[in-house]
Chains A and B, each alone.
Chain A
Amino acid sequence: MYGMILLFADFTVKSYIIAAVIGLIVALITISIMKGGMKNVAKSRNAANYVAKDSFRLRTSNDRFLRKEEKRTKKQTNS
């Protein structure tokens, strides 16, 4: 009987440790998402908003094959 109680207590402690680890991860993620929403300032990455309409001219478009590599892996078989 005493052994059963110890086993149950051990299982309960393990459950709460697992829950605490998950809780810690979720809390950190939640706070980092909240922090991310506090800033909307960043340098522009490009000038896409200022492209003149229909101004793109593609004079050359050459695709040249260079080489090929193969990686062979033997399939796993269930015996």
Chain B
Amino acid sequence: MLMKTEEEVGMDNTFYKCPACGTALQYSAASGKLECAACGNQYEVADMEAAAQGGVSRSAFSWGDYKANLQQITDMSTKVYICKSCGAQILTDGNTAATHCPYCDSEVVINDAFDGGLQPNGIIPFKITKDRMKSIVDSFGKGKKLLPRDFFTNKRIQDVQGVYVPFWLFDGTVDGAVVFDAEKQRRFDEGEYRVEETSYFQLDREGQLAFVNVPVDGAVKMDDALMESVGPYDFNEITDFRTAYLSGYLADRFDQDPDASIGRAEELMIASTVDKFRSTAKDYSNLRVAGKNLRLLSPSVKYVLLPVYIINCKYGGKDYRYAINGQTGKMVGELPISKQRKNAYFWGVFGAITVILGTLLSLL
């Protein structure tokens, strides 16, 4: 590993260990490189620093600057409801009444003091209509043998609520270097010996990869895993926001600003960049990231509303929440397990195998 130990970091004179043999490296003024007196390897100073830092930085991104460019919603027929339980602020148009919170199913009350709110940069309108819910839910539960019978009741499906969930879409370019430790293995016979040969390498990769519309949900109440699973969305269908799109649906206000969300977008972009660098080293085995120095350049963000149907259910005292992509119809969530059905399958399989196999073995 090209890392400094904690003791070394704490010292005034920074030094690095040779990745090949572990000896302390010395700077050679003649070559301008770090050299290992024990094994003779030479390393670029920048590479060693990059590997030692192992860090990630980003160019300036200011939510304050971005917020200043967002317009206020000016349509005063817009209504705001407040959830008594979880505090969600739900927007809808003047013709739609909200009675229950899409997040926690608690009662909501209208808030007369509508302060306008920030207008999203765009919206993907609902394409999947409510009358398709039954078939979507049926195919989601199809083949799930441990699912309790009648878990998704017709009432639950009829009560499904379409919600525009606030998302931040981040653009940016990840630029920098990744250092990998890698191996090549070879096996061969030499005289009366079998030889296993392992060659060790250090691979330096430097470059950049750009990303467009990496979504991160801006609602703290919404389960991140659920929202990341319900995608992908076709962002080519983003259109300008109009309050009319809210008719018949609810919209949540973001309660997590992009400064708090950009870390997750960055994490995903960096994982993809490392994977991309890794794909250029196909001839090696046991590839491990020894260090990285990556920067997120020119991050920018859009505030959009994406369509999601939410179904809340209870079973065995536990809450279950399902999300259906309002553009594609993809349904995600965790289904409950019926103990009765699980026991029936377990003892059925166990009993059948014990009797049939036991009889066959005893006849042999």
Using a CB–CB cutoff of 8 Å, the interface residues on chain A facing chain B are 11-12, 15-16, 18-20, 22-24, 26-28, 30-31, 34-35, 37-52, 55-75, 77
Contact = CB atoms under 8 A, between A and B. Distances in A.
Given A34-B345, A46-B271, 17 more contacts: A16-B354, A18-B361, A19-B357, A22-B353, A23-B350, A23-B352, A28-B346, A30-B349, A31-B346, A41-B334, A52-B212, A57-B208, A57-B209, A58-B277, A60-B206, A64-B202, A71-B198
B192 interface: yes
A49 B268 CA distance: 10
Given A20-B358, A49-B232, A72-B195, A55 B144 contact: no
Interface residues of B, number: 81
A8 B146 CA distance: 40
Contacts of B190: 72
B326 to A, nearest CB: 17
A16 B144 CA distance: 31
B357 A22 contact: yes
Interface of B: 19-21, 39, 41, 143-147, 173, 177, 182, 189-190, 192-215, 223-226, 228-229, 231-232, 265, 268-269, 271-272, 275-277, 280-281, 332-337, 342, 345-347, 349-359, 361-362, 364
Contacts of B275: 46, 48
B207 A59 contact: yes
Nearest to A20: B354
Nearest to B44: A62
A51 B354 contact: no
A73 B41 CA distance: 29
Chain B interface, DSSP helix/strand/loop, else mixed: mixed
7 contacts: A19-B358, A20-B354, A34-B145, A55-B208, A59-B207, A64-B204, A66-B19
A60 B361 contact: no
A43 B228 contact: yes
B196 A71 contact: yes
Nearest to B322: A41
Contacts of B347: 27
A60 B146 CA distance: 52
B353 A58 contact: no
Contact of A68 (B192, B197, B280): B197
A50 B200 contact: no
A12 B362 CA distance: 5
Nearest to B336: A38
B144 A68 contact: no
B343 to A, nearest CB: 9
